[in-house]
Amino acid sequence: MATEVLPDERALRLARRERALAQMDAHDLDILVLGRQANIRYVTGTPQLWIAGTRPFGPMCVMMRTSGEIYLNSTDDEGVPEEIGRDHLYGLAWNPMTLIDVLKKIDGAETARRVGTDAITPTFAALLPEAFPNAAVVDGEPTMRAARRIKTAEEVAAMGTALRVAEQGLAAGLAALRPGRSERSLAATVLEAMAAGGVSTPATQDTAWATSREHPWRRADGPVREGDLVAFAAGALADGYVAELGRTRPAGDAMDSCARELFGRSDALYDRMLAACRPGARADGLLAAYEDAGEPLPPMPVAHGLGLGFDPPVVSEELCAAGEHDRLDAGMVLALTGYVWQQGVGAVFRRDTVHITDGGAEVLIDFSA
């Protein structure tokens, strides 16, 4: 079966581009030079090649504030939207001076006053001023973060594919849970179901684990035992967007009273966390939800933004202690994480993809299997 690479839907890419241009105006940037793949897809709507690991910075995409024109590094026009003409595509070059020569010839490069980049290397820090001789080269990543932190209605709809695939994987893992299974085989079940749903790129490496009854943040050793509380985290990367779901279930047919009490604590914590997801509220209110519920904070973020990869905010005890306080705004989409533990019982882990609306938190998929 042949698969054609298509650009993102027109309404989706134009709504994102409008937000990026508005933030360029707010940050007084004449030109944005982008190298990060998620940022490039955000402004162009062109699917990017996914690879494991990091990439060195290169000027792979250029967007002009005044005209809205986009120049893209691409060897062909497959997946490139129609509004980015072939004359605005430039090929890959091993010699950085070749790329600098391309940038020099862009209309407006010589008169630009402020140029933002979403990353930089020593080589391009020295070379970019040659392409933009009258401009100050500044950090452009805050511009893209500001644009991406609030999701358009089209983006929320686009995340549906990743959510449905994550839901399919999570349901398969829970259905396969029984004493004697290994964490690896349970993880394989989740990933196989996600692949059958059309996504072979998981958003997280941790997929299934038996929680420890002796230590709050460790895993149990060996195969799953009767009564173990087993956590599943299903995350999918589909059409550029990430969505995550997580649930915990006991292995075996019965749930004792101690486990039921722990699940009750998890529900009480989660209700407080959802109530804290209000437009205009401080993000560290999600940390306060743990304190109000009488639960210790986990050594992981209790929330992080989702979108084309991970977006702001990231809410953790360490970041808030360092003075990084963010605000929750309508339009944000978060992976919200609840975690409670009891000696001799284990842990209950829960994660949902939550959309903050003017009326509060909306769980995008109410998973109850």
Spatial contact of 12 and 152, defined as CB atoms under 8 Å apart: yes
CB 352 within 8 A of CB 336: yes
Q: Does residue 96 have a pLDDT over 90?
A: yes
pLDDT tier at 53, thresholds 50, 70, 90: low
Lowest mean pLDDT among 97-101, 258-262, 294-298, 307-311: 307-311
Instruction: Give dist(CA 25, CA 5) in Å, integer.
Output: 32
pLDDT band per the 50, 70, 90 thresholds, residue 33: very high
> Is residue 309 over pLDDT 90?
no
The answer to whether 300 touches 337, Cβ cutoff 8 Å, is: yes
pLDDT exceeds 70 at position 177? yes
Residue 310's pLDDT band, with cuts at 50, 70 and 90, is confident
Q: Where are the alpha helices (DSSP H) in the chain?
A: 10-26, 37-44, 96-104, 122-131, 141-148, 153-158, 160-176, 183-196, 257-276, 285-293, 317-321
- Specify the pLDDT at position 283: 93
Please give the backbone phi and psi of residue 174, each rounded to the nearest 5 degrees, phi first. -65, -40
Reduced to 3 states (helix: H, G, I; strand: E, B; else coil), residue 223 is coil
Angle formed at CA 288 by CA 282 and CA 289, multiple of 5 degrees: 105
pLDDT band, very low/low/confident/very high, at 48 (cuts 50, 70, 90): confident
Q: Which residues contact 35 (CB under 8 A, 6 or more apart)?
A: 55, 57, 58, 59, 60, 61, 117, 118, 119
Task: Compute the average pLDDT of residues 214-241.
Answer: 92
pLDDT value at position 219? 86
pTM: 0.93
| Helical axes 10-26 vs 37-44, angle rounded to 10° | 110
pLDDT mean over 6-35: 97
Do 118 and 61 form a contact (C-beta atoms < 8 A)? no
∠ CA 236-45-32, rounded to 5°: 115
* pLDDT for residue 1: 36
